[in-house]
Structure 1
């Protein structure tokens, strides 16, 4: 097993895990959670997919990992306090999506990945990024997967204390991140694995079921008994030993992407 490769791609920090073989290989790109594991390096340790014959390149979300302000999450928490939707959730997903094309080009320039369709993977808020790549871009994708994902951003906003004061702008923003309504587009782009912990937030779990139902035969649900929302222990910034429940998720993701790499 090769050691991780770290670097930046068009300003986006990444942790890359090479496949065992030599020569160009397919690429799977991920976006991590904002819960633990909350950095690209920690997400790579939680879900390494070591048996997958593909490059796994885990991208850093805005203001996380190497992009933390003053080496802490305090700046992110301040954005949450200011406005959880318009200062935090929506702009993070938007930035991660907008910076991806240049990051992908830089990854292909730096690493021996092939030029075919990619796999996309996202956890929690990173799941919204992966879904937005499927719903709103033309990047060729051979398969996607999300884990305890932010499928309807309105459900995520409801997890924060108090009643959120929606206005015209924030209503438009939150509705643009409702991927159940985008199921037709997503189904036409790539097959999707939806991983849901049985102990995840009930609203997020309900959204996972709704998305799978809306996608129909182009999706599968992988339900993980005993799994809550996080995939790693706090603080979740540095790489840590893989937890047993994360190992179950990892095995499911590896089987899913391997199946679609080799075809039916």
Structure 2
């Protein structure tokens, strides 16, 4: 396989994996987890989707990877301790979503990707970004996929210790990140693969099943026996050998996107 390409797209760090062959190819964009793998380079190693005839451009989430403060996750963890929803989860998703259109334009300027619809993929909190691109933008998408995703942000907040002190503003914010409620919009945008580890946090697993039910025929569930929430071993910042369960996820994603790349190609002819 060709070596990864690293760079910046409108201020967003990326790790790009080229397809085999020359000439313009379709584009699939990903957003990584805050659990391991917690950087664009590590996510690219965990889920490379090497057999796809498409560019896979893995974007860095805010305050992760090349955007860590002083080379560590400490600053991000401090934001979580300060206010998990309003200082960390929501701002990270909001920033990653809002910076994406400019990053996409920069990727298209830097890499030989075609100008057709893109694929989107997100893991954990990155899944909320992918879902927000589907639910809240008009960027053309041929297919999406999420892995152990933050589908209802209220469920993610509940994973942290203590009872979160919701007020009117935070209630509105957390409800805006409930993508089961946005299923009608998402279903109208693109088909979605929902990958869920059978050992993921029970609430996240339940949300995955609810989203598939709400999306109906526009979605597909891929359950991975034995998979908990992370896709890589700690510390999850640098690229690492692909774990066997991540290889199963990778194979399912490759099959999904290959199928819909073929469908997109037929529609464009």
TM range (shorter): over 0.9
Q: CA deviation at 1:21?
A: 1.4
How many angstroms apart in 1 are the aligned matches of 2:75 and 2:199? 29
SS in 2 for 1:164: coil
2:107 maps to: 107
Give ranges in structure 2 of 5+ residues lacking alignment: none
Deviation string 1:40-59 (CA, Å, 9 cap, x unpaired) is: 00000000000000000000
SS in 2 for 1:34: coil
TM-score (ref. length: structure 2) = 0.98
1:29 maps to: 29
Q: Give the count of matched residue pairs.
A: 264
Q: CA deviation at 1:124?
A: 0.0
Is 1:250 equivalent to 2:250 in the alignment? yes
TM-score (ref. length: structure 1) = 1.00
Give ranges in structure 1 of 5+ residues lacking alignment: none
How many angstroms apart in 2 are the aligned matches of 1:223 and 1:161? 27
1:111-122 alignment runs, 5 A limit:
111-122=111-122
How many angstroms apart in 2 are the aligned matches of 1:128 and 1:103? 18
2:230 maps to: 230
Is 1:262 equivalent to 2:262 in the alignment? yes
1:216 maps to: 216
How many angstroms apart in 2 are the aligned matches of 1:229 and 1:75? 23
How many angstroms apart in 2 are the aligned matches of 1:125 and 1:78? 17
How many angstroms apart in 2 are the aligned matches of 1:244 and 1:21? 28
2:2 maps to: 2
Moved over 2 A (4+): none
How many angstroms apart in 2 are the aligned matches of 1:262 and 1:81? 45
SS in 2 for 1:146: strand
